[in-house]
Amino acid sequence: MNNNQLINKYFYVRYLDDKPHIRLRIQGDPNILLSTVLIKMKDWTSNLIEGGLINKIELSCYEREIERYGGPDFIDICETLFYYDSICVSELFNFLSYTTNELFDKETIAVLSVIFYLEEIGFDYNQQLNLFERILENNKFPKEFRLKKDYLVFLCNSNLNWSNLRKSEDGNKLISIFEKRKKIINHASEEFSVKSNYLYSPTKDIWLSIIHMHLNRLLGVDREKEKNIMLLVKYTLKNLKYQKGIL
């Protein structure tokens, strides 16, 4: 439907509530949504139910989280970012389904993805580290980091345009996936900066919410798993200080 220009954009969010489910948000011309898209959605979801992939479908209105994402001047750009992020995560799942490189498990890809976000937002190394030390001030050192330290520090070094990551075919594929959302992240960062007086929330809080939603799409609704990824990001950044020339 997206390729046929029946919808303008979409994104999805994972929820638990009573049972795990996905909420798919679709934006487009109301006439086309009612006359064409809903019929196609019915056919698609009926096939999913028959195949045992889902139990049911419900249709409801979407209430935008306007304040959480900066206010009415910024919600459109955030939802466009969610659209590109949803595409990115879908391609990451596809990547995980065919890669034979054991280094690139979902956990490592999540850490890489978050650091890519920080880089594209425009945070320099010190800003990245300070942010993660602030939000994860008193948290314990994750056991997994001892096992993953060497290759996380190697892969997550953005120096020379991610030259370490580009040394493998899979690394280049990951970069091409992450870059699908690069322009919109850059644009959102610019808008937040230029129109900062109109923001309802601090810029860093908005970005943390956006990163949280990315991890929701990638990991599912699992606060402990998400916290663990954020800790891995923190300690990866801390161990990058020598490569970044910080003594």
Q: What is the largest CA-CA distance in the chain?
A: 62
pLDDT, one tens digit per residue, over 123-141 is: 999 999 999 999 987 777 7
What's the pLDDT band for 243 if we cut at 50, 70, 90?
A: confident
pLDDT, one tens digit per residue, over 146-202 is: 999 999 999 999 999 999 999 999 999 999 999 999 999 999 999 999 999 999 999
3-state helix, strand, coil in the chain (%, to 5): 60, 5, 30
% of the chain surpassing 90 pLDDT: 79
Is residue 25 pLDDT above 90, yes or no? Answer: yes
63's torsion region: left (phi>0), alpha (psi -120 to 50) or beta? beta
What is the chain's alpha carbon radius of gyration, rounded to the nearest angstrom?
Answer: 19
Instruction: State the pTM of this model.
Output: 0.93
Is residue 49 pLDDT above 70, yes or no? Answer: yes
124's torsion region: left (phi>0), alpha (psi -120 to 50) or beta? beta
pLDDT, one tens digit per residue, over 88-98 is: 999 999 999 99
Is residue 4 pLDDT above 80, yes or no? Answer: no
